Amino acid sequence: MRTTDPKVRALQSIDILSDLSNRRLRDLALHVDEVEVRAGETLIHEGQLNRHAYFVESGTMSIEVDGERVATVAAGSIVGERTAIERGPANATVRVLDDAVVHAIDHRALLGTASNTAEFADLLHVLANERTNTTTAAA
């Protein structure tokens, strides 16, 4: 079923969320805040605690370890999921390369969604492990 809710439609465009049902997306939409971020801003600081994950609706982000870019992510991606899940310090800095729109979700809401949807939980853990391996290899 198609939705007319703009927030749900925006979440549907995020790769990791595209297979969630409209019901799950509506539930998730209650817990996300749409945030406009400007080029040059930093979403996540390496070594600091981070309590949010960010679904990237538009724009690009640089993933940096020790000041060196190790990856670039764009619309449809998620950043900050590892620290939101594990609640440890960030192993990378996420810097906005061009103006972006992200949907911020608190770690409790992210974990709540994951606990209700096994496929989403598995995908989050796989993605977090891949990101950890990428940033660890770059260090």
Counting beta carbons within 10 angstroms of the beta carbon of residue 131, is it exposed (0 to 12), middle (13 to 18) or buried (19 or more)? buried
pLDDT class for 2, splitting at 50, 70, 90? Answer: low
H/E segment holding residue 100:
strand 100-106
Task: Say what the pLDDT of residue 131 is.
Answer: 59
Kind of pairing, strands 60-65 and 68-74? Answer: antiparallel
Closest CA to 92 of 70, 123, 76, 111: 70
Q: What is the pLDDT of residues 31-51, one digit of tens each?
A: 899 999 999 999 999 999 888
Average pLDDT, integer, range 68-97: 89
| Cα separation, 77 vs 55, whole angstroms | 6
For each of the domains in the chain, give its residue range(s) and CATH number, in order of start. Answer: 6-138 (2.60.120.10)
| Residue 106, burial from CB neighbour count under 10 angstroms (0-12, 13-18, 19+) | middle
Instruction: Measure the CA–CA gap between 138 and 136, rounded to whole angstroms.
Output: 5
